[in-house]
Amino acid sequence: MRKYNGRSQVLVTGGAGFLGSHLCDRLLGEGHDVICADNLFTGSKRNIEHLLAHPRFELMRHDVTFPLYVEVDEIYNLACPASPVHYQHDPVQTVKTSVHGAINMLGLAKRTGARIFQASTSEVYGDPDVHPQTESYWGRVNPIGVRSCYDEGKRCAETLFFDYHRQYGLDIRVARIFNTYGPRMHPNDGRVVSNFIVQALRGEPITIYGEGEQTRSFCYVDDLIDGFVRYMRLEGPVPGPINLGNPNEFTIASLAQLVIELTNSRSSLVKRPLPSDDPMQRQPDIARARETLQWEPRVQLREGLARTIDYFDQLLREGS
């Protein structure tokens, strides 16, 4: 792997997003040169404005559905709207971002000899009939539903990554990301943690879908980024996929009550019908990550929520 002055040249697509901006922080902190490519559809300059003057950071406004010509040692492909509100806004573009974006980034990796990381998702498992979900489970996905633009787009991207690995010998890393939360989440992205926190801080009713008995596993962003970097630092052929997430499972109703407690809110709970194809269970089996990466989450939900609440409280006070 090429290095200049002992530093790797790293491309992060979607680098102005929630996860991407934290990854840029981590990579710069380790001394690498970072190119952040983002079309700012769901990403925000606010997330990276503290990096804009950094001598080893470069922001490129770029859509990954078009080729990108840069010289890099590593690629983290994170570009894609990841919340239902955003990826259902323009489902055709969502599929293009996953599929064309994967093709373009894989082509770049092939040309430069870069190691490439794909931010896949637990949504490749669909509404699972296996619990918890292991990497060997093929999933139960509706190919024509309203969530399919994201679910099937990510599944196709995984196919492309493994075919490039088998056909061209590309050094790939495929991580399946489970629910993640923390500072820099978009306040209006429709995800359960940000929804609950914003509603609670505003004193609005907290919206529960169904009876709130569906379960999720919540990983704090710092833990997840540590998993990314550990995975990319492994030598040898380790294409994955590897689940990255917190195996502790919580009902949505219990999450709502914890958010109310931590915000000292008087918000009540309001129930709405379940959205189409919304999975009832989501919990990662992380045995492979523990064994391969010596990784597991360290930040517990109460601690992570407190940090995230502080971020949103400041955001709302600023009127952002």
209 is catalytic: no
Q: Are the CB atoms for 119 and 175 separated by under 8 Å?
A: yes
Determine which one of 76, 87, 125, 150 is catalytic.
150
Write the CA distances from 292 to 137, 173, 298, integer angstroms: 18, 12, 17
Q: In sequence order, what E strands does the chain have?
A: 9-13, 33-38, 57-61, 74-77, 115-121, 172-177, 180-181, 206-209, 215-217, 219-220, 242-244, 249-251, 269-272
Burial classification of residue 304, based on how many CB atoms lie within 10 Å of its CB (0-12 exposed, 13-18 middle, 19 or more buried): buried
> Contacts from 43-47 at CB under 8 Å and sequence distance 24+?
43/14, 43/15, 43/16, 43/17, 44/16, 44/17, 44/186, 45/16, 46/320, 47/16, 47/17, 47/18, 47/20, 47/21, 47/184
Instruction: Tell me how far apart the alpha carbons of residues 221 and 225 are, in angstroms, rounded to a whole number.
Output: 6
Beta-carbon contacts of 149 under 8 Å, excluding residues fewer than 6 positions away, are 87, 88, 91, 92, 94, 95
As annotated, the active-site residues are: 150
